[in-house]
Amino acid sequence: AQKVTQAQTEISVVEKEDVTLDCVYETRDTTYYLFWYKQPPSGELVFLIRRNSFDEQNEISGRYSWNFQKSTSSFNFTITASQVVDSAVYFCALRKRDNYGQNFVFGPGTRLSVLP
């Protein structure tokens, strides 16, 4: 069965600190996609990044960076120089094909609080 684990339930940092959100996934498939979403207090999930299982290149987008390591089944997310606006719940998700089609499996989320 597929599963996504985000071991950090809540993280608090002070503004300008760097913070890494961990994501570990389980799947037997060789073809799958990994996603990160941000959910601010407004409730809407905001898409951040998508990565397929064949692309292990790390990615940087502004203050955000992602480290994908298949060997450890991890897809970690780092925010550099955090800001108060980064405060949100962050979800890691796995998408793979199953007997019924394809489906997202979300992790439980990590609540990040960035304090001024």
Partner 1 sequence: KAGVTQTPRYLIKTRGQQVTLSCSPISGHRSVSWYQQTPGQGLQFLFEYFSETQRNKGNFPGRFSGRQFSNSRSEMNVSTLELGDSALYLCASSLQGRSGMLGDTQYFGPGTRLTVL
Shortest Cβ 45–partner 1 spacing (Å): 4
In whole angstroms, what is the distance from residue 91 CA to residue 21 CA?
A: 9
Q: Cβ closer to partner 1: 87 or 107?
A: 107
The contact pattern for partner 1, residues 13-52, with x = CB under 8 A and - = no contact, is: ------------------xxx-x-x----xxxxxx--x-x
Concatenated DSSP letters of 59-111? EEETTEEEEEEGGGTEEEEEESS--GGG-EEEEEEEEEEETTEEEEEE---EE
User: Footprint of partner 1 on this chain (CB under 8 A)?
Assistant: 31-33, 35, 37, 42-47, 50, 52, 91, 95-97, 100-109
